Chains A and B, each alone.
Chain A
Amino acid sequence: MMGVLRTERVSIDFGGLRAVDNLDFQIGDEIVGLIGPNGSGKTTFLNIISGIYKPTRGRVYFNGEDITSLPPHMIRAKGIARTFQTNRLCLNLSILDNMLLGLYCQQQTTWWQAIFMSSSSSREIKLGIEKSLAILAHFNPALITRAYEPVMTIPLIDRRRIEIARAVVGDPRLVLLDEPTAGLNSEETNQMINDIAKIRRRSSQISIIIIEHDMTVISRITERVVCLNAGQKIAEGTFSEVARNELVRTAYLGG
Chain B
Amino acid sequence: MGNKIYRYSLAGLSTLGICMALYVCLSSALLVALIVIALAIVILSVGERKNVIDKVYRLIGDNKALNLGIIALFILLLPFLVQGNNYLLHIAIMAGIFSIVALGLNFQIGGIGQINFAPAAFYGMGAYTSAFLSVKMGLSPWLGTLCGLLMAIVLGVVVGFPALKARGYYLSLVTIALQIIFTLMIVNSPWIGGPNGIPGIPSYQIGGFSFRTPVALGGIQLPYQVNFLYLVYILLALFALAANRLYNSRVGLAWNAIEQDPIVAACQGINLTNTQLLAFCLGAAYAGIAGAIYGHYTSFIGVENFDFSQSLIFICMVILGGTDNVPGVVLGAVLLTMIDEKLRDFSGYRLLMYGIVLIIILIIRPKGLLPKRIRVYQQKDRSEYSSHSAVVTGGSR
What residues make up the interface of A, taking CB atoms closer than 8 Å to B? 50-52, 71-73, 76-77, 81-82, 84, 88-94, 96-97, 100-102, 104-105, 107, 109-111, 114-115, 118, 121-122, 124-126, 129, 144-150, 152-153, 166, 170
A111 touches which of B251, B263, B394 (Cβ 8 Å): B251
B271 touches which of A73, A121, A144 (Cβ 8 Å): A73
CB-CB under 8 A for A102 and B268, given A92-B395, A148-B385, A152-B395: yes
* A111 to B49 alpha-carbon distance, docked (Å): 36
The verdict on B65 contacting chain A, using a C-beta distance below 8 Å, is no
* B3 neighbours in A (Cβ, 8 Å): none
* A88 neighbours in B (Cβ, 8 Å): 261, 263-264
Segment 244-266 of B: residues with Cβ below 8 Å from A = 245-246, 248-254, 256-257, 260-261, 263-266
B267 touches which of A76, A93, A94, A109 (Cβ 8 Å): A76
- Complex: chain A residue closest to B395, CB-CB: A92
**Contact (Cβ within 8 A) A147 B385:** yes
- Complex: chain A residue closest to B382, CB-CB: A148
**Contact (Cβ within 8 A) B385 A144:** yes
Closest chain A CB from B328 CB (angstroms): 16
* A93 neighbours in B (Cβ, 8 Å): 253, 256-257, 260, 374-375
- Complex: chain B residue closest to A77, CB-CB: B269
CB-CB under 8 A for A100 and B392, given A91-B260, A118-B245: no
Closest chain B CB from A126 CB (angstroms): 7
* B395 neighbours in A (Cβ, 8 Å): 91-92, 150, 152
Closest chain A CB from B334 CB (angstroms): 23
What residues make up the interface of B, taking CB atoms closer than 8 Å to A? 242, 245-246, 248-254, 256-257, 260-261, 263-272, 278, 282, 372, 374-378, 381-382, 385-386, 388, 390, 392-395
**Contact (Cβ within 8 A) A71 B266:** yes
**Contact (Cβ within 8 A) B386 A73:** no
The listed residue with most A CB atoms (<10 A of its CB), out of B260, B372, B376, B394, is B260
- Complex: chain B residue closest to A147, CB-CB: B385
Q: Can you pick out 11 interface pairs between chain A and chain B where the beta carbons lie within 8 Å of each other?
A: A52-B266, A93-B253, A93-B375, A97-B374, A101-B265, A104-B253, A114-B249, A115-B242, A121-B248, A145-B385, A148-B374
- Complex: chain B residue closest to A107, CB-CB: B250
* A110 to B388 alpha-carbon distance, docked (Å): 31
Closest chain B CB from A14 CB (angstroms): 17
A104 touches which of B250, B260, B377 (Cβ 8 Å): B250
* A126 to B252 alpha-carbon distance, docked (Å): 16
CB-CB under 8 A for A109 and B250, given A72-B263, A145-B386: yes
* A121 to B372 alpha-carbon distance, docked (Å): 22
- Complex: chain B residue closest to A105, CB-CB: B269
**In the complex, given contacts A93-B256, A145-B385, A153-B393, what are 16 additional A-B residue pairs having Cβ atoms less than 8 angstroms apart?**
A51-B266, A73-B272, A92-B395, A93-B375, A97-B374, A101-B268, A104-B257, A105-B269, A107-B250, A114-B249, A114-B250, A114-B252, A118-B245, A121-B245, A122-B377, A144-B385
* A88 to B395 alpha-carbon distance, docked (Å): 14
**Contact (Cβ within 8 A) A126 B251:** no
- Complex: chain B residue closest to A89, CB-CB: B264
* A62 to B242 alpha-carbon distance, docked (Å): 39
**Contact (Cβ within 8 A) A148 B390:** yes
CB-CB under 8 A for A94 and B375, given A115-B245, A152-B393, A152-B394: yes
A92 touches which of B268, B381, B392 (Cβ 8 Å): B392
* A115 neighbours in B (Cβ, 8 Å): 242, 245-246
**Contact (Cβ within 8 A) A97 B268:** no
CB-CB under 8 A for A82 and B267, given A100-B250, A121-B250, A150-B392: yes
* B382 neighbours in A (Cβ, 8 Å): 148
CB-CB under 8 A for A97 and B385, given A73-B269, A111-B282, A114-B246: no
Closest chain A CB from B267 CB (angstroms): 5
* B270 neighbours in A (Cβ, 8 Å): 73, 101, 104
* A50 to B260 alpha-carbon distance, docked (Å): 19
Closest chain B CB from A109 CB (angstroms): 5
A101 touches which of B253, B272, B374, B392 (Cβ 8 Å): B253
**Contact (Cβ within 8 A) B267 A104:** no
